[in-house]
Amino acid sequence: MPAPRAVLLLSGGLDSYTAGALMRERGFELHALSVLYGQRHAREIHAARAVAADLGVARHIELEVDLRRFGGSSLTSDMPVPVDRAIVPDEIPSTYVPARNTVMLSLALAWAETLGSSDLVIGVNALDYSGYPDCRPEFVAAFEALARLATKAGVEGRPLTVHAPLQHWSKAQIIREGQRLGLDYGLTHSCYSPPAEGRPCGRCDSCLLRAAGFAEAGLPDPLMNR
């Protein structure tokens, strides 16, 4: 029997890399989708390509959807990215991109249906995170319910599953799992606002969460030793 196919949303960060590796370990054939939504940290696509190659995905699609047309986020407009912020789970920062995960899961759903895949994978987690509403377990569950109604597969009795294997893990747990899986986090990119020379800024939410995760895991971040 051929391996079941899963569509993985792949950003180039460490979460989606780890989520993909876990699904590969569970026997899925990975099809990776990276959405170029106009994010200011567009260079993460280079990381996504490196990660896709390392995961040995069957195919990697890079799809452009220009969310800058709508604005409303410091990641898709000229608003400054906040730095050195105390991350409070109940506060939604300006780096929140309206409906981003809804848009990306919808696109993954479209591809899954044409692939005959019943499995979507997203690397969200709602423990060490920036408070984005579309990273929470109730969001993931609602998308899964929608997906079962939205598709021919769902109507025909092949319901979709949205896998969010990191959902309840801390960043340190994710990183330790990555070590177990032999992942090279030096391939990844997390910074929201990389300076011109390409080094992580070390001060945006994403850099702060990453640094705290490596510290708590008691491991060095390979990106910082370069």
Chain contacts with a second copy (rule: CB under 8 A): 61, 63-67, 69-72, 92, 96-103, 105-107, 109-111, 113-114, 133-134, 136, 138-139, 142-143, 145-147, 149-152, 154-155
Q: Which residues contact 163 (CB under 8 A, 6 or more apart)?
A: 6, 19, 23, 119, 120, 121, 122
Closer residue to a second copy in complex, CB, 8/21: 8
- 109 or 187: CB nearest a second copy: 109
Element (H, E) at 205: helix 205-217
- Is residue 2 classed exposed, middle or buried when 0-12, 13-18 and 19+ CB atoms within 10 A define those classes? exposed
Closest to a second copy by CB, 101 or 170: 101
Report, in Å, the least distance between residue 82 CB and a second copy.
15
For residue 152, the minimal CB distance to a second copy (Å) is 5
In the complex, least distance from residue 150 CB atom to a second copy, rounded to whole angstroms: 5
At position 35, the amino acid (one-letter code) is V
Q: Which is nearer to a second copy, 127 or 145 (CB)?
A: 145
The minimum distance between CB 115 and a second copy, in angstroms, equals 8
Distance, CA of 219 to CA of 210 (rounded, Å): 11
Q: Residue 108 Cβ, how far from a second copy at the closest point, in Å? A: 9
For the chain, the distance separating the N- and C-terminal CA atoms, rounded to the nearest angstrom, is 43
* Cβ pair 19, 43 in contact under 8 A: no
Give the strand pairing for 161-163 and 5-9.
unpaired
Four-CA torsion 162, 71, 76, 63, nearest 10 degrees: 50
Identify which of residues 31 and 171 has a Cβ nearer to a second copy in the complex.
Answer: 31
